[in-house]
């Protein structure tokens, strides 16, 4: 199985007529993703890469039944695009834009209260269920169907971990990047909850980074609620305090925000830790090997 997206997902691309959206939509279609239409205001009633284009998401959903949105619009317009998808009844919204204003995302988070939608991003590489559906910018050819769930902040480390697991014969059920901006939609705990409920995910790899408490909070939740092993790697062991490293949210504000402190706390909470990025695949294999089969 999978979480959030699968072969039955009907995807609409907001901003589909843009260069980057076009490139990634075509790549996703070649990989089997069911992209049913696009949305570009002012270009409705036209076609692009063989797909119908609508003025609004509401029109797109009414005609095609789209239930997943990939948002490829500039950061200043991302919040309005997200809320338009929420209003149209889209259930999974993937926001690629990097650097959506913090106040805009705060407004979106308030708007989401009481509504049935999951936001992945902003500043995300997206989400992929290998061989079934990809919404984002990750290279789908490196992913393999399997039983390891992957959730990360970093897209690049997501790719590296996947390559290591593939070399060990460990494919992925679903892989997603929650995004590196300070305010995200889906967080680590939400992803862990979904993977725990997926009967065809055997273990979860969580890739975090310096800054904030999301990773440790997720480890605490996992200790109480997860029956599957969780493996983690935290990027930024050498990052100096007070300096942003890569993502907007990756900054050490206190002693507990360092990579080493997080890894120590998470290990104490029962998470299997990969000490360096080259050891991620081996750590996942070791976690699987540590599971005692039922009835043993």
User: Percent of the chain at pLDDT above 90?
Assistant: 81
**Residue 220 predicted with pLDDT over 70:** yes
Question: What is the distance between the alpha carbons of residues 71 and 82, in angstroms, rounded to a whole number?
Answer: 8
How far is CA 127 from its chain centroid? 5
Q: Given the structure tokens 């997926």, which residue do they identify?
A: 198
pLDDT number for residue 158:
93
User: Stretch 67-95: mean pLDDT, rounded?
Assistant: 98
**Residue 85 predicted with pLDDT over 70:** yes
Question: What is the distance between the alpha carbons of residues 277 and 130, in angstroms, rounded to a whole number?
Answer: 22
How far is CA 74 from its chain centroid? 19
pLDDT number for residue 89:
98
**Residue 239 predicted with pLDDT over 60:** no
**Residue 242 predicted with pLDDT over 80:** no
Sign for the pseudo-dihedral over CA of 33, 11, 45, 25: negative
Tell me the pLDDT of the chain averaged across its residues.
92
DSSP string, the chain: --SS--TT--EEEETTTSHHHHHHHHHHHHTT--EEEEE-TT-TTEEETTEEEESSHHHHHHHH---EEEE-S-HHHHHHHHHHHHHHT-SEEEE--S---HHHHHHHHHHHTTS--EEE-SS--EEEETTTEEEESS-GGG--EEEEEEEES-HHHHHHHHHHHHHTT--EEEEEE--SSSS-SS-HHHHHHHHHH-TT--EEEEEEESSSSHHHHHHHHHHHH--S-EEEEEE-TTPPTT---SSTT----SGGGSHHHHHHHHHHTT-EE-SSGGGHHHHHHHHHHTPPPTT-
Backbone φ/ψ region at 169: left (φ over 0), alpha (ψ -120 to 50), beta: left
Question: What is the distance between the alpha carbons of residues 265 and 279, in angstroms, rounded to a whole number?
Answer: 19
**Residue 249 predicted with pLDDT over 60:** no
Nearest to 19 by CA among 76, 74, 78, 88: 74
**Residue 252 predicted with pLDDT over 60:** no
pLDDT number for residue 180:
82
**Residue 253 predicted with pLDDT over 90:** no
Domains of the chain from N-terminus onward: 1-123 (3.40.50.720), 143-296 (3.40.50.261)
Nearest to 166 by CA among 184, 179, 148, 193: 148
Find the Cα–Cα–Cα–Cα dihedral 83, 19, 151, 240, rounded to 10°. -100
**Residue 87 predicted with pLDDT over 90:** yes
**Residue 159 predicted with pLDDT over 50:** yes
pLDDT number for residue 255:
52
**Residue 63 predicted with pLDDT over 50:** yes
pLDDT number for residue 296:
47
Close Cβ partners of 223 (under 8 Å, ≥ 6 residues apart): 269, 270
**Residue 240 predicted with pLDDT over 80:** no
pLDDT number for residue 211:
76
User: Stretch 44-52: mean pLDDT, rounded?
Assistant: 98
**Residue 200 predicted with pLDDT over 50:** yes
Contact indicator for 16, 53 with CB cutoff of 8 Å: yes
> Which residues are marked as active site?
247
pLDDT number for residue 254:
52
**Residue 251 predicted with pLDDT over 90:** no
Predicted TM-score (pTM) of the model is 0.92
Question: Residue 175: how many CB atoms within 10 A of its CB?
Answer: 31
Q: How confident is the model at residue 149 (pLDDT cuts 50, 70, 90)?
A: very high
User: Stretch 18-45: mean pLDDT, rounded?
Assistant: 97
């Amino acid at each position: 199985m999978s979480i959030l997206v699968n072969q039955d997902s009907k995807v609409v691309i907001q901003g589909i007529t843009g260069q980057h959206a076009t490139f990634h939509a075509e790549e996703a279609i070649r990989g089997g993703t069911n992209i049913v239409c696009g949305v570009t205001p002012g270009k409705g009633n036209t076609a692009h890469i063989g797909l119908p284009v609508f003025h609004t998401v509401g029109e797109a959903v009414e005609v095609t039944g789209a239930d997943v949105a990939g948002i490829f619009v500039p950061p200043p317009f991302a919040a309005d695009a997200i809320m338009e998808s929420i209003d149209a009844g889209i259930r999974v919204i993937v926001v690629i834009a990097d650097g959506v204003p913090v106040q805009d995302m705060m407004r979106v988070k308030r708007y989401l209260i009481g509504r049935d939608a999951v936001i992945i991003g902003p500043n995300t590489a997206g989400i992929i269920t290998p061989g079934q559906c990809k919404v984002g910018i990750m290279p789908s050819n490196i992913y393999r169907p399997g039983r390891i769930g992957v959730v990360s902040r970093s897209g690049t480390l997501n790719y590296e971990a996947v390559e290591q697991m593939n070399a060990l014969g460990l494919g992925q059920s679903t892989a997603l990047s929650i995004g590196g901006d300070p305010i995200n939609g889906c967080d680590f705990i939400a992803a862990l909850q979904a993977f725990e409920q997926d009967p065809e995910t055997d273990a979860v790899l969580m890739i975090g980074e310096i800054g904030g408490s999301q990773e440790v909070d997720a480890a605490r939740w996992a200790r109480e609620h997860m029956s599957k092993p969780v493996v983690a790697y935290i990027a930024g062991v050498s990052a100096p305090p007070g300096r942003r490293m890569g993502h907007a949210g990756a900054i050490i504000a206190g002693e507990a925000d360092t990579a080493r402190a997080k890894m120590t706390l998470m290990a104490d909470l029962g998470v299997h830790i990969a000490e360096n990025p080259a050891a991620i695949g081996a750590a996942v294999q070791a976690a699987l090997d540590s599971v005692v089969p039922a009835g043993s």
